Amino acid sequence: MLVFGCAEKKIETAKAQIIPMPVNQEFRDGHFVLSSETEINFEEEFNVAGNFLKAFLEPTLKKKKGVENKINFVKDTSILNPEGYRIEVNPIHIKISATTAQGAFYAVQTLRQLLPAELETGKLKRKDIAIAATKISDQPQFSYRGMHLDVARHMFSVKFIKKYIDALAMLKMNTFHWHLTDDQGWRIEIKQYPKLQEVAAFRDETLIGHYSDQPHRFDGKRYGGYYTQEEIKDIVAYAQERFVTIIPEIEMPGHAQAAIAAYPELGCASTLRHSSGQEASATDEPVEVAKEWGVFEEIYCPNKKTFAFLEGVLDEVLELFPSKYIHIGGDEAPKTRWENCAHCQALIKKEGLKDEHELQSYFITKMEKYLNSKGRQIIGWDEILEGGLAPNATVMSWRGTSGAVEAAKAGHNVVMTPTSHCYFDYYQSENEDEPLAIGGFLPLEKVYGFNPIPEELTTEESTYVLGAQGNIWTEYIPTEDQLEYMAFPRMLAMSEVVWSKPENKNHEDFVLRLEQFHKRLDVLNVNYANHLYEIDGNVVSQNDTTYYKLETLTKGKTIRYTLDGSEPDLNSKIYQSQIPISQSTTIKAAVFKDKKQLGKTFTQNINFHKAVGAKITINKTPHKAYSGSGAKGLINGISGSDSRYGDKEWLGFWGEDIEVTIYFEKPIIINSIETRFYDGNGQWIYAPKHIAMRVIFDNDEIIANKFLPESSENPNLKQVFCEQPILSNRPVKTIKLLVPNYGTIPEGKQGAGNKAWTFIDEIIVN
């Protein structure tokens, strides 16, 4: 509890309100009064933390003498983790112990969260503040605690980048992965290569709407810019003062179209594309800085000019960024140019390489050698495993976790950032009025539930997992407000994933602390998303009866609902126990507190079709990141979202043929069977080309082969439908759906060469 102005005004605060959750916090009787007499004492070694605290408390502290009221920083080498700290608050003093400046800094970030949020504004003047006596000892679970930001697709101001770094520091995150170059823009000033500034930093126009909207339309506005070296130095110094390491990412060999637009000789020559035999110095058509999203075929040619260019670029990068790691990208590099380039083919022969994947490995290894010779280490996306991993490389695992498993088993360090749990450019709510996002569905709770250690690793192997990071790709994030909306509060959940021990994590408790933390984010002027007052609904079946269960994340609130399609209000029924369902219904519900509706109204249509309540099996287990409500979810009366394939209703399978079987206890006459598949090719999701439906009667069966139509109203969905007379009016015992996987993703598409995902929705039987 915090008390202002000598107990005349009290503010209740939840006791455990720190994010990320400390390892250990005990509460004691009494409190320390932070007042105008409080002294802050620290040795030079703890300058950063001490000065941060001083500045934070400035308006409150006015020096007076002779009163025993101190905040003391103490070096304590018995604290073994360099990022660890202890705080003791008692009526006489606050003692902050740490073994390093960074540990002391994290102690101050914790102390900050024990103080009223209003202090953040610097406007809370000359009040005494009581801090409940407590003892905290704390240290991180992982040494790599990061957030990524793509500034190539959209760019953000220096002021904003500093605000982002401030948030990382407050949450004890220590790494900012700055994605500085991509097809749509080169954002770091490189003095040796002025065309990077003149050409590569600008695109002529930008795609409007989503990539899957057809036809593509453009806004006609030139877009771009770059960070000058002076700005970058300023940002790096700012981050250092907050113990945030910036890892710059210079993408290679792919995502290089902007650089190739500026310097065409960095791309593959077109000798094999034309059979004239004459060596050209550039690609066929002039390449421009990309105006739309996706994966592009223009990649660096592994020739002398390219290596000289990249080494020159890296020389300047190394001057600006003191980080141990340099991120060299490595993801999504289509090999078509290399396959058709005389130089590349000759190089493959000369080096005795097997194929273009080994050529990529040759490329990355060469760059690794260069960076190692300068005392740095490389980190790259998990594609750098293909064709052989460079000897000292750290792998950033984004396509699921298998890259991490492979790398860790081979003794390489890994950073976890799988799309399923770490891509904050995905939708975070099922509300249809969310701002346009790339796709997917990653609600706060799923981020919070992430365990960076893949199950497949032994304890020994798991020591190679350095930590995890949230990624923010900005194709669909043009403004700083929207970026904050996507980043918060998922960044808070990620901070706890990487800092706190799994046994100290508790989602319900996190939500309570987050509700408190809203105040701090408000005064810090952060445009966070608030989905805490949304309702979570689930079908449950018990003793052959189907029920619908409503829940809300935060306690002490009332849920009211209707079943007739009307909007819930203060007169609607209060939800007390799960609602029995025996026919098709629309449930609408909302959370109320103090006679006010909080959050948005939840709507769920339940289609009580003939398979609801039947038995179902699938011959394969859905991918663990996309297991929805399990097999049962395919016949629970609820269809998945039209735009969020990662919700509870869609089931995802990676590269597998699947067979779904629905059994009816009592054979029934049916008139139709229908289902649908997601077809989000940008996210590697492909509807099957065809499926087979087997309908089994008493002693025979029919098989209907169904090709999936090329396009439908929603380009992301493909429907299949089977109806009478083929079902022949006889009682059906079993329905089987045979769903072959689409196969390998074709060349020219995102993720080419990888297995496609299959996502299947409700199987509706009427």
Is residue 341 a contact point for Zn ion (CB under 5 A)? yes
Burial class of residue 186 (count of CB atoms within 10 Å of its CB; 0-12, 13-18, 19+): buried
Per-residue DSSP letter, 209? S
Q: What residue 311 binds from ligand ACM, Zn ion, none (CB within 5 to 8 A, per partner kind)?
A: none
Nearer Cβ to ligand ACM, position 254 or 633? 254
Site string for ligand ACM, 366-385 (x = CB under 6 A): ---------------x----
Sign of CA dihedral 658, 661, 662, 667: positive
Nearer Cβ to ligand ACM, position 467 or 613? 467
Nearest distance from C-beta of residue 440 to ligand ACM, angstroms: 12
Is residue 83 a contact point for ligand ACM (CB under 6 A)? no
Our answer to whether residue 567 is catalytic in this structure is: no
d(CA 636, CA 305): 60
Nearer Cβ to ligand ACM, position 106 or 424? 424
What are the distances in angstroms from CA 218 to CA 140, 156, 286?
Answer: 46, 21, 20
Burial class of residue 105 (count of CB atoms within 10 Å of its CB; 0-12, 13-18, 19+): buried
What are the distances in angstroms from CA 552 to CA 558, 570, 599, 641?
Answer: 9, 17, 11, 20
Assigned token pair, 646: 């990662």
d(CA 603, CA 594): 22
Is residue 256 a contact point for Zn ion (CB under 5 A)? no
Contact call for residues 87 and 62 (beta carbons, < 8 A):
no
Site string for ligand ACM, 379-418 (x = CB under 6 A): --x----------------x--------------------
d(CA 666, CA 673): 17
Nearest distance from C-beta of residue 306 to Zn ion, angstroms: 9
Binding to ligand ACM in span 332-361, by CB under 6 A = 332
Across the beta sheet with 596-606, the strand order is 573-574, 558-562, 585-593, 596-606
d(CA 338, CA 318): 29
Amino acid making up residue 333: A
Which residue in 344, 348, 389, 687 binds Zn ion (CB under 5 A)?
A: 344
Our answer to whether residue 31 is catalytic in this structure is: no
Site string for Zn ion, 83-122 (x = CB under 5 A): ----------------------------------------
d(CA 50, CA 44): 9
Identify the active-site residue in 182, 189, 368, 649. Answer: 182
Tallying the residues shown for the chain, one arrives at: 766
Q: What residue 684 binds from Zn ion, ligand ACM, none (CB within 5 to 8 A, per partner kind)?
A: none
d(CA 397, CA 388): 15
Per-residue DSSP letter, 504? G
Q: What residue 332 binds from Zn ion, ligand ACM, none (CB within 5 to 8 A, per partner kind)?
A: ligand ACM
Q: What residue 268 binds from Zn ion, ligand ACM, none (CB within 5 to 8 A, per partner kind)?
A: Zn ion
Our answer to whether residue 68 is catalytic in this structure is: no
Binding to ligand ACM in span 293-332, by CB under 6 A = 331-332
Identify the active-site residue in 138, 332, 382, 656. Answer: 332
Which residue minimizes CB distance to ligand ACM? 331
> Which range in 98-106, 312-320, 337-345, 618-626 contacts Zn ion by CB under 5 A?
337-345
d(CA 245, CA 354): 38
Q: Total residues at the site for ligand ACM (CB under 6 A)? A: 4
Nearest distance from C-beta of residue 393 to ligand ACM, angstroms: 15
Q: Could you give the residue numbers annotated as active site?
A: 182, 255, 332
Binding site for Zn ion (CB under 5 A): 268, 301, 341, 343-344
Binding site for ligand ACM (CB under 6 A): 331-332, 381, 398
